[in-house]
Amino acid sequence: MRHRDPAWNPAAGSAGAGLPRVAWGKGLYVYDTAGRRYLDASGGPAVFCLGHGNDEVNAAITRQLERIAHGYRYSFTSDPLEELEQLIGAAAGPGFESMVFVSGGSEAVESALKIALQYHTARGARARRRFIARRRSWHGNTLGALAVSDFAARRAPFEGALTEASFIPAVNAYRPPAGVAPEELARHGAAELEREILAQGAERVAAFIFEPVVGAAGGVVPAPAGYAALVREVCDRHGVLMIADEVMCGSGRCGSWRALAQEGVTPDLFAIAKGLGAGYLPLGAAVYHRRIAEVIDAADGGPLTGHTFTGHTAACAAGVAVQTIVRRERLVERVAAEGPRFMAALSAELADVEAVGDVRGRGFFVGIEFVAERATRRPFAPELGFAGRVGRAGVELGLLCYPVSGIVDGVEGDAILLAPPYNATAQELAEIVALTSRAIRRALAGRPAR
């Protein structure tokens, strides 16, 4: 299937009639069947947090497959499932003992939405059916997750079949609302949420869902300091649940295992995937706090969501191996320490490039936004497809980044995402900086992709 949105396919259009055929990978590098090597600077879509071909993870998967691939969840529990629950609970913090394992981020968000609805039903608040999300957000590709996502290109074919949700403006320090001072942005954003809750009627609102650091739809946009705490207060004031979508920014990617932990904020539910299993097998989870679990368990005995492959045994074994390595090697702490240096190196290398408007992010999750004019922050014309140009230039140079478009208003705005593995060496990070700079400069020079 060919997607026109470059965020789906960083190499779109760069390989003639088709994409390169992958052959193998090791560490940061991926090789195609023609023998070309690519430095995977974005970890695919921020997935491969340990790189490719990790021997310890592969061995754990093999050992599990030699025993049994999967014990169906209604017939069995398993050691890998219970071990992964313990690892997640320890990393997530007090109260997060309950979770539903799924096959990816979209299912994790979908499950979180369903658990929120089940919770309100169980406590006799069945009128709370509505969700509120933010503009320039992406929460997944199932119909429920898509309904709370504001990504025009991905929603368009399905409009009319999506559950109605409310959207409040994005909270972006690089592109703040007119007349809002930087120090007021967090309070302004929280006030917009409260206004929408009151407009809909608090008794009808189930939850507010947001990405602590917006990924594909915004080009890595961290929420301003204090925003999450103010949102927590608004939600508590009106009985609205807080769902943190940490599929892309969580599991250590931003320098804390829960992205919101840096804000000192505890959500009611959060969704994780990507870095949870590092791409070795499909894996995600919807994790919910004890205060939610107690209500659901008392009414229904447990969450009324799940799939055939929920808690897949081999996938959980992969997750246990990944999270064991992350914990043993203190990789989240490494991301917290090295992330600012990586971002500073990118900023310094690109300081003379007028088209680079903003270099932002947290940890090993970095976005580079492109503009036609730095002083006014005017984006490139969308028909130029500049993010895709950078992606194609990167492929020519042996670099894989993650281009995204429409990040300003759904149509205009270009950026690339970088998300190296947590164990990337200083030399590898320096290579990413150098190749990224070359790719951007090549795209600006207008050199043909082929």
Domain boundary among 285, 304, 328: 328
**What pLDDT score does 9 carry?**
46
**Would 2 be classed as within a structural domain?**
no
Enter the DSSP assignment of 78: -
If asked whether residues 386 and 249 sit together in one domain, one would say no
Q: What is the distance between the alpha carbons of residues 378 and 404, in angstroms, rounded to a whole number?
A: 16
Evaluate whether 281 touches 315 at the Cβ level (below 8 Å): yes
Q: What is the distance between the alpha carbons of residues 158 and 101, in angstroms, rounded to a whole number?
A: 27
Task: Taking the CA atoms of 325, 75, 113 and 149 in sequence, report the sign of the dihedral they define.
Answer: positive
Secondary structure of residue 186 in the 3-state scheme: helix
**Would 238 be classed as within a structural domain?**
yes
pLDDT band at 14 (very low <50, low <70, confident <90, very high): very low
If asked whether residues 40 and 178 sit together in one domain, one would say no
**What pLDDT score does 1 carry?**
30
Residue 11 pLDDT exceeds 70: no
Residue 448 pLDDT exceeds 60: no
> Count of domains in the chain?
2
If asked whether residues 34 and 182 sit together in one domain, one would say no
**Would 427 be classed as within a structural domain?**
yes
Taking alpha carbons only, the member of 115, 210, 213, 111 closest to residue 166 is 210
Residue 447 pLDDT exceeds 60: no
**Would 209 be classed as within a structural domain?**
yes
If asked whether residues 254 and 384 sit together in one domain, one would say no
Evaluate whether 281 touches 64 at the Cβ level (below 8 Å): no
If asked whether residues 261 and 321 sit together in one domain, one would say yes
Q: What is the distance between the alpha carbons of residues 153 and 172, in angstroms, rounded to a whole number?
A: 20
Q: What is the distance between the alpha carbons of residues 127 and 204, in angstroms, rounded to a whole number?
A: 5
Contacting residues for 384 by C-beta, under 8 A, at least 6 apart:
none
Q: What is the distance between the alpha carbons of residues 246 and 208, in angstroms, rounded to a whole number?
A: 14
Q: How many degrees, rounded to 5, is the angle at CA 190 between CA 259 and CA 287?
A: 35
Domain boundary among 277, 299, 328: 328
**What pLDDT score does 151 carry?**
87
Q: What is the distance between the alpha carbons of residues 248 and 220, in angstroms, rounded to a whole number?
A: 10
If asked whether residues 318 and 347 sit together in one domain, one would say no
**Would 309 be classed as within a structural domain?**
yes
Residue 336 pLDDT exceeds 80: yes
Q: What is the distance between the alpha carbons of residues 333 and 320, in angstroms, rounded to a whole number?
A: 19
Residue 96's alpha-carbon distances to 5, 160, 163, 289, in angstroms, are 36, 36, 29, 5
32-85 tens-digit pLDDT: 999 999 999 999 999 999 999 999 999 999 999 999 999 999 999 999 999 999
If asked whether residues 72 and 184 sit together in one domain, one would say yes
**Would 3 be classed as within a structural domain?**
no
The residue-averaged pLDDT of 331-350 equals 98
**Would 276 be classed as within a structural domain?**
yes
212-252 tens-digit pLDDT: 999 999 999 999 999 999 999 999 999 999 999 999 999 99
Q: What token pair was written down for 37?
A: 């090597």
pLDDT band at 153 (very low <50, low <70, confident <90, very high): confident
**What pLDDT score does 10 carry?**
40
Q: What token pair was written down for 408?
A: 């300003």
Question: What would the DSSP string read from start to end of 342-397?
Answer: HHHHHHHHTTT-TTEEEEEEETTEEEEEE-SBTTTTBPPPGGG-HHHHHHHHHHHT
If asked whether residues 299 and 196 sit together in one domain, one would say yes
Q: What is the distance between the alpha carbons of residues 243 and 401, in angstroms, rounded to a whole number?
A: 28
**What pLDDT score does 4 carry?**
42
If asked whether residues 342 and 422 sit together in one domain, one would say yes
Residue 15 pLDDT exceeds 50: no
Q: What is the distance between the alpha carbons of residues 257 and 269, in angstroms, rounded to a whole number?
A: 15
Residue 7 pLDDT exceeds 90: no
Residue 8 pLDDT exceeds 60: no
Residue 286 pLDDT exceeds 60: yes
Question: What would the DSSP string read from start to end of 279-302?
Answer: TSS--EEEEE-HHHHHHHHHHHSS
The residue-averaged pLDDT of 174-181 equals 95
Evaluate whether 57 touches 322 at the Cβ level (below 8 Å): yes
**Would 86 be classed as within a structural domain?**
yes
Residue 2 pLDDT exceeds 50: no
Domain boundary among 276, 307, 328: 328
Residue 145 pLDDT exceeds 70: yes
- The domain spanning residue 384 has which CATH number? 3.90.1150.10
Q: Domain containing 165: what range?
A: 56-328
Q: Is 264 exposed, middle or buried (0-12, 13-18, 19+ CB in 10 A)?
A: exposed
If asked whether residues 174 and 222 sit together in one domain, one would say yes
The residue-averaged pLDDT of 106-112 equals 98
If asked whether residues 293 and 376 sit together in one domain, one would say no
Output the average pLDDT for the chain. Answer: 94
Contacting residues for 16 by C-beta, under 8 A, at least 6 apart:
450
What's the order of all strands across the beta sheet hosting 269-272? 98-102, 284-288, 269-272, 241-245, 205-210, 130-134, 166-168
Taking alpha carbons only, the member of 214, 249, 278 closest to residue 339 is 249
- The domain spanning residue 119 has which CATH number? 3.40.640.10
If asked whether residues 101 and 237 sit together in one domain, one would say yes
409-420 tens-digit pLDDT: 999 999 999 999
